[in-house]
């Protein structure tokens, strides 16, 4: 699973936009994107895209059946 993320600033939280893809760069539809340690979450759409509001120090947990979960740190570098 590969994740690309772009950020735009919104007050204390940021809009985290990304695309979840497999090794062949095909979108993963319905992957779960959660903020670690919080109740917020979303799922990817038909194009593998998602948007979630997260603090700049948050960690996203990406999971999908048949794949190993990944944790991605949200930072200003994206």
pLDDT single digits (tens) 34-71: 999 999 999 999 999 999 999 988 999 999 999 999 99
- Closest by CA to 55, choosing from 19, 4, 7, 5, is 7
Residue 18, domain member (yes or no): yes
Q: Is the pLDDT assigned to residue 10 strictly greater than 50?
A: no
Q: For residues 68, 2, 31 and 39, what is the CA-based torsion angle, rounded to 10 degrees?
A: 80
Measure the CA angle with vertex 43, ends 39 and 49; round to 5°: 130
Q: Are 3 and 64 in contact (CB under 8 A)?
A: no
Q: Is the pTM of this model over 0.85?
A: no
pLDDT classification of 14: cutoffs 50, 70, 90 = confident
> What pLDDT is attached to residue 20?
94
Q: Is the pLDDT assigned to residue 6 strictly greater than 80?
A: no
Distance of alpha carbon 68 from alpha carbon 53, whole angstroms: 23
Residue 78, domain member (yes or no): no
Number of domains in the chain: 1
Residue 56, domain member (yes or no): yes
**What is the CATH classification number for the domain harbouring 52?**
2.60.40
Q: Which domain holds residue 25?
A: 2-73
Token pair, residue 48, equals 């593998």
Mean pLDDT to the nearest integer, 20-41: 94
């Amino acid at each position: 699973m590969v994740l690309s993320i772009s950020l735009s600033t919104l007050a204390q939280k940021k809009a985290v936009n990304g695309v979840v893809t497999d090794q062949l760069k095909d979108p993963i539809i319905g992957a779960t994107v959660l903020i670690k340690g919080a109740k917020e979450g979303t799922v990817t759409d038909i194009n593998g895209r998602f948007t979630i509001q997260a603090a700049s120090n948050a960690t996203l947990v990406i999971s999908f059946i048949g794949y190993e979960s990944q944790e991605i740190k949200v930072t200003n570098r994206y």
